[in-house]
Amino acid sequence: MSDWTAGYVAECGYTYGYYPELNPLATQLAFAHAGLPLPVVSTACELGFGQGLSVNIHAAASGTRWFGNDFIPAQAAFAQQLAAISGAAAQLTDQSFADFTRRSDLPDFDFIAMHGIWSWVSAENRAIIIDFVRRKLKPGGVLYMSYNALPGWSAFAPMRQLMSEHARRAAAAGDGIVQRIDAAVDFAGALLATDPLYLRSNPAVLNHFRQVAGQARPYLAHEYFNRDWAPMYFAEVADLLAPAGLSFACSASYFEHIDALNMTAEQQAFLLRIEDARLRESSRDYMLNQRFRRDYWIKGEAPPREPGWSEALARQRVMLIVPRAEVPPRIVGSRGGLDMDPAVYGPLLDALATQQPCSLGELAERLQPQGVTRAQLLQALIILCGMQQIASVQDAVLAAAARPCCQALNAWLIEQATHSEDLGHLLSPLTGGGIAVSRLHQVFLQALPATESPADLAGHARQVLGEARDLAGDQDELSARARIFVERHLPVLRALQVVP
């Protein structure tokens, strides 16, 4: 591996994932539920943006001025291509972190984001990142950071080490990264088949390994085969970020705001007895066997938490982003499934079923006569947002300004569905972010506005997808799916302004 990579896998590109936590608008409900002032974001930066889908979606779909950096040239080139297509003013580069963070032309930022990068770079690069956040994140600004966490990785970390060691030392000469990963996975599987005492002591490792063996090799390359791979305890991360003046705000994972979804009553009571906030958060990770954290941090001392209703919260708008009939009746958390209370969720979903943005203040007034309290409303919205059934909605003026960039990039993304299923999201100027849209639905969208006939959409999809039956099914099934799309999903995409 060449020195310029600093030990990071660069032989194959990262996946084309979209990560909604990188959308600054996602901070609003999370901060409100935690009793923190709602952030205002006008400048933002993503470090290590991968293929750049998230940063381009957020730059095109909002009024936020975005900067970003990823040191792999091919990924930066693709990201720059997306920015050119949308016409958004995102400034995306392919420098090392050291070079990027020393630039004198960067503004101070309200929001800095990193997805996973923290776990996969060297200690030297982590120090560079910390110094950058110290210098360039505004007081009161927000850092979003996700990372591999302990204790959840404790059992499987030795397997990752074994596979990584095999890929470095036992691969055949001339093998590429995919061949090295295949060989490493086969080797690890053969070792586990000998029934080692390690496996007897860690029986959950086998299921985890089977999941790993079935995953796409480019994903495994970046997740498991970098030279640097450092899962950390929450307290370790807090200690490292302290010199940058950062205080823990709250989880960016909405479900983790609702203890009843993830912990027993006994565990909740135990946590309530812990006065020290850092020790309480660390203890929570043991209860959840936390393997991946998504966290918001604030520059400066976190202000006193004041859970409850506020005028700023009442002005926040949300909307349903899926068909009302497709909202599942159960919530799945760490401790299994819970039925949604129909007395709360029924009236709330009915109020949002028109697919129009609605402020929390309006929802509270509408639901109060039906016995739904503001606290119940906020908790239900947090859960539905965690399920990706609803999303926060930005200011109407910002949404209108973002619409041309969204339409330009959406048109290009929809066209890519002809030959690829990598790009599974489209842009909504209302949510300021991405909306999951399957490849088949994107192919249906290619036929608009010429026709909305389910039969015509099915015929177009059959022509484009050919015999890809895993996507299209037989003709009768495809026609049925086209009809459901026209009746249920197309109106939602129009309400979200994904489709003109």
Domains of the chain, start order = 3-151+231-299 (3.40.50.150), 157-224 (no CATH), 311-393 (3.90.930), 398-495 (no CATH)
Q: Provide the pLDDT confidence category of residue 2 given band limits of 50, 70 and 90.
A: very low
Condensed to tens digits (0 to 9), the pLDDT of residues 384-408 reads: 999 999 999 999 999 999 999 999 9
Q: Provide the pLDDT confidence category of residue 232 given band limits of 50, 70 and 90.
A: very high
Angle in degrees, 0-180, between the axes of helices 234-241 and 277-288, rounded to the nearest 10: 140
Condensed to tens digits (0 to 9), the pLDDT of residues 130-159 reads: 999 999 999 999 999 999 999 999 999 999
The model carries a pTM of: 0.93
Q: Dmax over Cα atoms in the chain, in whole Å? A: 72
Confidence check: pLDDT of 5 > 80: no
Least confident of 88-92, 220-224, 245-249, 275-279: 220-224
Confidence check: pLDDT of 1 > 50: no
Q: 54 and 46 in contact (C-beta within 8 Å)?
A: yes
Average pLDDT over residues 227-253: 96
Residue 9 has a pLDDT of 66
Condensed to tens digits (0 to 9), the pLDDT of residues 15-24 reads: 899 999 999 9
What percent of the chain is modeled with pLDDT above 90? 83
Residue 36 has a pLDDT of 92
Confidence check: pLDDT of 109 > 90: yes
Condensed to tens digits (0 to 9), the pLDDT of residues 181-211 reads: 999 999 999 999 999 999 999 999 999 999 9
Residue 337 has a pLDDT of 76
Average pLDDT over residues 484-497: 97
As a whole number of angstroms, the distance between CA 415 and CA 433 comes to 19
Condensed to tens digits (0 to 9), the pLDDT of residues 318-350 reads: 999 999 999 998 888 777 778 899 999 999 999
What percent of the chain is modeled with pLDDT above 70? 96
As a whole number of angstroms, the distance between CA 348 and CA 381 comes to 9
Give the burial string for 197-229 (b: 16+ CB within 10 Å, else e): eebeebeebeebbeebeeeebbebbbbbbbeeb
Q: 76 and 92 in contact (C-beta within 8 Å)?
A: yes
